Amino acid sequence: MTSAQTNARALMIQGTGSNVGKSMLVAGLCRAAHLRGLSVAPFKPQNMSNNAAVTADGGEIGRAQALQAIACGRELSVHMNPVLLKPESDRGSQVIVQGQVRGWLEARRFREDRGVLLDVVLDSFHRLAQTADLILVEGAGSPAEVNLRRGDIANMGFACAADVPVILAGDIDRGGVIAQIVGTRTVMSDEDVAQVVGFVVNKFRGDVSLFEDGYRAIEDHTGWTGYGVLPWFDAAHLLPAEDAVDLSEASGGQGFHIACPMLSRIANFDDLDPLKAEPNIRLTMVPPGQALPGDADLIVLPGTKSTRADLAFLRAQGWDIDILAHLRRGGRVLGICGGYQMLGTRIDDPQGLEGDAGSTPGLGLLDVTTTMQPRKTLTRVDAVHVPTGMGFDGYEIHIGQTSGPDAMRPFARIGDVPDGAISGNGRVMGTYLHGLFANGGFRQAFLAQMGHASGGADYTRTVERTLNELAAHMEQHLDIDGLLAAARPIKV
């Protein structure tokens, strides 16, 4: 990329481990800075997630960066997450580079080769820097993983290469936060330690004054500046989650019961977040080893990064038998993306795009077949739900083409193009469209078909309100002025 002048500054949030709240901290800081009138952009050099969002220019980025972009009041860009790894098995992942599929790499080979992507990461970082006053960067995993430091592009490797100051976040809810932060400093090299300018303690429950001595101990042992202790944010569940570890087994609602099996490669499960937020809906995420609940009104088969492998996983749990029993009781089934493909009679993958080449019998609940094809569909759409005539917006992110007799009864239409399929009795439905339940009018009409009254709340407004509450929460408990002042001018 050609060098250019920028007045942008940058600050990076890294964590003492995975799931310590880095994504939420960055989202809240993005919204706080945005409310102060700054032009802000989120950035994550490398992400690993099967929960992705589609950008306006037909690329894909991690869901956390999409939420952070919303917090910034900014359109999604592939440069916000230039390297995205989408695990397809325990051995390797699909590699997305600046929004597009670059290929597939084994985990060991990626650890060896990832350093070659640093130029791509820096290119995207500097492109963003030309569009904003402030870049807020999220790390991945932890800088304490010093065995992965060589060739690192996600944490200190990026921070040192781009000269971005780092705030280290610890999670007191999981215990041992003093050891988390002090121990991380102990194992890091002097060069990496020099990039860290301070720390925050996240997810505190109870009386914060009880931790004053612990907080001072961290400052004394590290020499870093403390920027505050952030109490637990109760409304976090109203924001889209990126990691499957964040999935709860059930929402707190009552009434209409929706069950969703937690597939081993579950993807884009934030499709269900608007349903989870409904007060009169009970959403149960069913973990492996448990039967699908017999009192469910609707079973949703979610997206997956590896359809045939997850179909085998579903059968190994006995969930196929549970689904048949559910239908015999008069229940309904909705398959989204990979879940839709599973509902058909057969899934063909002649080129081995998602594993070994071959064919797998589907659940046989829709008379359609799917053939996996190399070209990946990545697009935002405006659609109409055929049974109700209700319009909604969503997005497609899949490989594979599905056709068959039941596709003559489409779930939706995108202009003149049909999408999905519905069984003859109307109780089994499939669609390739993600994000549909975020549309309050569609959600209300869809549930009304099943005899359930929904308030049709505007989920977009819920997310915006929650981001504002998160920013206010952080303003109250953290030194936001100090954090923003710690950002350093970006060198180009």
* Residue 434 annotated in active site: yes
Give the CA angle between residues 302, 308, 312 to the nearest 5°.
90
Q: Does residue 385 carry a catalytic annotation? A: no
What is the rounded CA–CA span in Å between residue 26 and residue 230? 13
Phi and psi at 101, nearest 5°, equal -65, 125
Residue 248 DSSP class = -
Alpha carbon distance 482, 484 (integer Å):
6
CA distance 398 to 450: 28
Q: Identify the H or E element spanning 67.
A: helix 63-71
Give residue 85's identity as a one-letter amino acid code.
Answer: L
**Within 13 Å and on the Cβ side, how many CA atoms surround 332?**
20
Query: Which residue in the block uniquely carries the two structure tokens 């953290």?
Result: 478
Radius of gyration of the chain (CA): 23
DSSP state of 431: E
User: In angstroms, rounded to a whole number, what is the distance separating the alpha carbons of residues 445 and 460?
Assistant: 17
Name the 3-class secondary structure at 419.
strand
Length of the chain, in residues = 492
Q: Indicate the helix (H) or strand (E) that contains 346.
A: strand 346-349
The answer to whether 22 and 148 are in contact (CB under 8 A) is: no
Interatomic CA distance for residues 463 and 12, integer angstroms: 24
Token representation of residue 426: 């109307």
Sign of CA dihedral 90, 175, 194, 32: positive
Give, to the nearest 10 degrees, the angle between helix 307-316 and helix 319-328: 80
Which of 30, 337, 452, 473 is catalytic? The answer is 337
Q: Is 490 helix (H, G, I), strand (E, B) or coil?
A: coil
Kindly name the residue from 79, 126, 398, 434 that is annotated as catalytic.
434
For 51, residues 6+ apart whose C-beta sits below 8 A from its C-beta are: 62, 63, 240, 241, 242, 243, 244, 267, 268, 269, 270
Sheet with 281-286, edge to edge strand ranges: 281-286, 256-261, 298-301, 332-336, 428-431, 421-422
Catalytic site residues?
A: 337, 434
